[in-house]
Amino acid sequence: MDQLCIQGGKRLHGTVTISGAKNSAVALIPAAILGEERITIENLPTIRDVVIYKQILEQLNARVMHEKDTLIVEPFNLACQPIRDGLVTELRASYYLMGAMLGRFKESCVGLPGGCDLGPRPIDQHLKGFQALGASIEQKSGSIYLRANELMGAKIYLDVVSVGATINIMLAAVKAKGQTIIENAAKEPEIVDVATILTSMGADIKGAGTDIIKINGVSYLGGCKHSIIPDRIEAGTYMIAAAATRGEVLLDNVIPKHMEPITAKLREIGVEVEESDDQMLVRGSANYRAIDIKTLPYPGFPTDLQQPITSLLTQVQGCSLVTDNIYNSRFRHIDELKRMGANVKVEGRAALIEGSTPLQGAQVNATDLRAGAALIVAGLSAKGITRINGVQYIDRGYERIEEKLQKLGAEIWREQIPEQ
Ligand SMILES: CC(=O)N[C@H]1[C@@H](OP(=O)(O)OP(=O)(O)OC[C@H]2O[C@@H](n3ccc(=O)[nH]c3=O)[C@H](O)[C@@H]2O)O[C@H](CO)[C@@H](O)[C@@H]1O
Ligand SMILES: C=C(OP(=O)(O)O)C(=O)O
């Protein structure tokens, strides 16, 4: 087991190149199995979730070639077989195999997904969508069995705005007969990315990025070449880290429009942000103001940056209130921040952060991916050495994180946890 160690107090400066988006990658890879020709996916992040997905596709007999940031998928001899446990329980996005296998074979048997433990994460809206398209659903021994004689387009109103359900229904519906309409759809840029690859493969999808998506089923999907959008959550994490260390960092390979919910909040705190085509310059300062944040579906402030920005708010004068409207218990990082000296009270969905408190390096535990990011931000701003356990979660979503931070001047390294 590894841990990340940070000698805090270094101002971040320089340029960081943002990788392809995790939450796109883990949907584009299963989307590729809907095609009957070669799919090339570029700007692929080398993260654990992607490596696991590649292994799942290999288990299903797809030919997969991965070199640097390019993945080639040849799904010609794909096997229609159950994928019950093991790899599927290691990531959340394994639920996309349900929609993709159903779309391709009209049946699937997939184990319930894993992913970060953020409290209950039901998939009832995914299943409601599959059922509306004509699939029967059976849950047995931790797996979901879906079967349809024919998939037929349907009108599906999502009770909650769900990224996963929106994409999963798109995957199942692209080859269904007739028209599918998803109402109250999620609008995240990753959804547009999935619609873009499917359209390049021959699908007929309109409205991705709005709350009504219309899909006219087609009988054949071919191949294509597609480049993944930049990871707005990775980019946001580096923006927050730059601000927390009062540094000056240029982000390369970003889409500033996707960053607006984060940029707006950082500017409100007092961080300077300049934008150009595909770059953003973040400049920290000594004078920050406390702010309130509410997480919401896109284009609201993303829940995935709630944890990292909480660490920054411990370094801001005054009292900030952070409310997570997406997950009601995404606060497991707070106890770890308190070990480092933070003064935070959690009540229900809200965290009240009393700043500014000097942080001290400590031994802390990353309980999930963005808790890990939050502890990295805290460690970079703290006095002394912070040691972070749970690096396997951080590796799910951040490519070469210590290398990228070292390039920005951080003193961060990975070491083996000594055996007890
Ligand atoms: C792989 C991936 O893309 N993960 C992202 C995706 O997760 P994921 O797709 O799992 O999150 P959703 O958008 O589906 O969840 C949003 C909210 O809806 C609820 N819900 C969801 C589905 C459902 O069938 N029933 C239901 O009640 C969830 O419990 C949650 O409260 O979006 C989340 C919200 O932006 C992000 O934190 C995750 O990083
Ligand atoms: C919650 C996250 O991921 P997942 O949905 O894959 O667990 C995340 O990326 O912050």
DSSP 309-336: HHHHHTTSBEEEEEEESS-TT--HHHHH
Confirm if 336 and 364 have CB atoms less than 8 A apart.
Answer: yes
Distance CA 85, CA 112 (A): 8
Q: Which ligand is nearest the CA of 47, by number? A: 2
Q: Determine the Cα–Cα distance for residues 307 and 305; give it in Å rounded to an integer.
A: 5
- pLDDT attached to residue 115: 80
Q: Give the pLDDT confidence score for residue 418 in this predicted structure.
A: 76
* Residue whose C-alpha is closest to residue 21's, from 165, 190, 205: 190
Q: Write the burial class of residue 294 (CB in 10 Å: 0-12 exposed, 13-18 middle, 19+ buried).
A: middle
pLDDT value at residue 86: 86
> Which residues, including other chains, have CB under 8 Å from residue 208's CB and lie 6 or more apart?
170, 185, 191, 192, 194, 195, 196
C-alpha 171 – ligand 2 centre gap (Å): 19
Of 196, 173, 165, nearest to 42 by C-alpha is 196
CATH of 2-19+230-416, one of 3.40.470.10, 1.10.540.10, 3.65.10.10, 3.40.190.10: 3.65.10.10
Residues at the annotated binding site?
A: 22-23, 92, 121-125, 304, 326
Nearest CA to ligand 2 atom 5: 92
Residue nearest to atom 9 of ligand 2 (CA): 304
Q: Look up residue 333 and give its two tokens.
A: 């990082």
Give the list of residues 6+ apart from residue 134 with CB closer than 8 angstroms, or none.
148, 149, 150, 151, 152, 154, 176
Q: What atom in ligand 2 is closest to the CA of residue 370?
A: 10
Q: For the chain, give every residue range classified as CATH 3.65.10.10.
A: 2-19+230-416, 22-227
- pLDDT digits (tens), the chain, 420 positions: 899 999 999 999 999 999 999 999 999 999 999 999 999 999 999 999 999 999 999 999 999 999 999 999 999 999 999 998 789 998 999 999 999 999 999 999 999 998 888 888 999 999 999 999 999 999 998 999 999 999 999 999 999 999 999 999 999 999 999 999 999 999 999 999 999 999 999 999 999 999 999 999 999 999 999 999 999 999 999 999 999 999 999 999 999 999 999 999 999 999 999 999 999 999 999 999 999 999 999 999 999 999 999 999 999 999 999 999 999 889 999 999 999 999 999 999 999 999 999 999 999 999 999 999 999 999 999 999 999 999 999 999 999 999 999 999 999 999 998 777
Catalytic residue among 5, 80, 109, 116: 116
163 CA from centroid of ligand 1 (Å):
6
CATH class of the structural domain 22-227: alpha beta
pLDDT at 296: 98
Task: Please tell me the predicted confidence (pLDDT) of residue 12.
Answer: 98
Determine the number of helices (DSSP H) and then strands (DSSP E) in the chain.
13, 23
Which ligand is nearest to the Cα of residue 397, counting in written order? 2
The preferred substitution site among 26, 332, 396 for testing ligand 2, maximizing ligand atoms within 8 Å of CB, is 396
CA of 328 to the centre of ligand 1 (A): 12
Residues with CB under 6 A from ligand 1: 23, 26, 92-93, 121-126, 160, 162-165, 186, 303-304, 326-327
Neighbours of 397 (CB within 10 A): 30
- CA 121 / ligand 1 centre spacing (Å): 7
Rounded Cα distance between 272 and 247, Å, is 11
- Find the ligand nearest to 124 CA: 1
* Catalytic residue flag (residue 116): yes
| Res 211: pLDDT | 98
Q: Ligand 2: which of 116, 126, 333 to mutate, most ligand atoms within 8 Å of CB?
A: 116
Q: How much distance in Å is there from the Cα of 137 to the middle of ligand 1? A: 20
Q: What is the pLDDT of residue 279?
A: 98
Backbone CA torsion sign across 360, 366, 367, 371: positive
ipTM over 0.85: yes
